[in-house]
């Protein structure tokens, strides 16, 4: 299944070993699912890691290189304004252009909007159990 991770899933995977985000990323690394990502998502993730988790440039560079290695980099061509939070719309744009089957998120606003979204949403727990 091709998926797009919300930024919170990446943050969880990179800061909470053994958690649901880490398990979801493990599925990608194991080849059980494939991951699509876009530059705006990478930029947001690196910004969050720098601001909120005091990650240094070298570590941020390693994260960027790692993501390029495990994910398909896509370039959205259409700007969406479906959700109130602009970064959440970047996730939707990535899912649309990648033709993803699911967006993996723990974001309540995104989960609440799943009925009108261009891609299915999966809670991290559901995704990591293989459903």
Architecture of the domain whose range is 2-128: 3-Layer(aba) Sandwich (3.40)
Is 27 in contact with 5 (CB distance < 8 Å)? no
Please state which of the ranges 21-25, 64-68, 108-112, 117-121 shows the lowest mean pLDDT.
Answer: 117-121
The better pLDDT of the pair 21, 106 is held by 21
pTM of the complete model: 0.84
Q: Which residue has the tokens 């995704």?
A: 127
- Residues 48, 54, 55, 56, CA torsion sign: positive
């Amino acid at each position: 299944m091709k998926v797009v991770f919300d930024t919170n899933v990446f943050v969880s995977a990179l800061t909470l070993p053994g958690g649901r985000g880490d398990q979801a990323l493990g599925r990608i690394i194991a080849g059980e699912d494939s991951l699509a990502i876009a530059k705006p998502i990478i930029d947001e993730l690196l910004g969050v890691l720098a601001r909120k988790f005091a990650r240094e440039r070298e570590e941020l560079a390693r994260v960027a290189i790692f993501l390029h290695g495990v994910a398909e980099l896509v370039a959205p061509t259409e700007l969406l304004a479906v959700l109130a939070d602009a970064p959440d719309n970047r996730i939707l744009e990535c899912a649309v252009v990648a033709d993803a089957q699911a967006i993996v998120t723990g974001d309540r606003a995104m989960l609440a909007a799943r009925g009108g979204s261009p891609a299915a949403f999966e809670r991290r727990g559901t995704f990591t159990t293989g459903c």
